[in-house]
Amino acid sequence: MISVTAAIQQIAACRTSWGTESVPLEKSAGRVLAEAITADRDYPPFHRAARDGFAIRSSDVKTSRRQQFPLSRARYPGEALQPGHAMKVASGSLLPPDVDVVISVEEAEEQNGHVAFFDHNIKVYQHMRPRGEQAAAGNVLLEPGLRLNFQHLGLLASLGVMQVKVQRPPRVMFIAAGNELRIPGTPVNDLQLRDANGFTLTGLLLQYGISLEASYIVPEHAAAIQSAIQPCLEADLLVICGNVLPKTVMECGVEQVFNKVKAHPCNPFWFGYSPTRTRVMLMPGHPFAVQAGCKLFVESYIRACWGIPVIRPWLIPYMEHRTATHGQDEFIPAALVSRNGLKVKALSFAGRADLTSTARADGMICHSAEAGSLEPSALVPFYPWIETA
């Protein structure tokens, strides 16, 4: 039996590559970038005025303290600014490439077709956004391994990148073992349950742009489970939930990496791989155990394969007193509270099958067995349901 940290390290050590693919920009949200994105030109590609005022060349400024320039009738783009002249500009307007100063209207005096100001008000690139201020051509703007969100899609569009090279998603399959389980959407009686775990896994995968390829519900009989496992060993990742013995999986040719973790409700958790390179995770069938297992182990494996840092908890002050109820590290649904700073509190929880509490939670805390009781303001590890990077 190993710690959660050691389990995540061993899972990450079994990472592999699933290759890359090119997808349209509009379908790239949530995907992981597989190449560096560079600026195709300077950004912005032109000078732009940042204030209402008058544009000049600093090279036209004389040595006298008071400066006076005739106003040009030129309009840019289309017409160049004559030497020794000033051009009246509005905030946001484009500027000729050789203009490098904007004098604001507050700093100047316009009269009889001329504009006057004092030279101590002049600094190169003042009151303007110069070409290349944001990025120079060739600068790396996005690094490989970045999960693309809406703000990245806007940048890619501005760069003219309409096809994006991303990490190819893995083939993932799922098996739920349970005599009482039924497919959601089909009729159930009072002794039957709709399988929620397949959709828990589906939801986590979709956060990374991955679709669950196949899902099976089988009785809790070794022969039925093994019959379902065999075709799934062509996948990259197989997740099995339920009261399934590791022996049942290993008899299908899957080699054990580790068995059991020191954590409630994740235990017993088993991890191995097949000769076909399929990674296999075996979890308890309780819904919260699957939620915790997907968050800690499935997500860590996906991130490791794509070169994204594995998940690390936030350390947040705990709000209340809590007494440990298990001899192992305990994961509990928790909510964030903004009260005199960000804090976290455990939610009322009716056990590992309580999906209503986990749906109200922002994530889960880990009550370490070594910590004993938790006291108010004690820092506690918090795992948000949704990672921000």
What is the per-residue pLDDT across 159-208, written as a single tens digit (0 to 9) for each?
A: 999 999 999 999 999 999 999 999 999 999 999 999 999 999 999 999 88
CB atoms within 10 A of CB 98: 12
For residues 243-254, average pLDDT: 96
For residues 285-295, average pLDDT: 95
User: What pLDDT is attached to residue 130?
Assistant: 93
Q: Which residues pair with 345 in a beta bridge?
A: 335
Q: Inform me whether the pLDDT recorded for 46 exceeds 80.
A: yes
pLDDT band at 28 (very low <50, low <70, confident <90, very high): very high
Question: How big, in percent rounded to 5, are the helix, strand and coil portions of the chain?
Answer: 20, 35, 45
For residues 220-226, average pLDDT: 95
pLDDT band at 121 (very low <50, low <70, confident <90, very high): low
For residue 157, CA distances in Å to 72, 137, 202, 258, 378 come to: 37, 16, 29, 45, 45
Q: Inform me whether the pLDDT recorded for 120 exceeds 80.
A: no
User: What pLDDT is attached to residue 54?
Assistant: 94
User: What pLDDT is attached to residue 166?
Assistant: 96
**Mean pLDDT of all residues in the chain?**
93
DSSP β-ladder status, 263-264 and 193-194: unpaired
User: What pLDDT is attached to residue 47?
Assistant: 93
Query: Could you give phi then psi for residue 121, rounded to 5 degrees?
Result: -90, 5
User: What pLDDT is attached to residue 387?
Assistant: 82
For residues 329-334, average pLDDT: 94
> C-alpha angle with apex 73: 71 to 79, nearest 5 degrees?
120
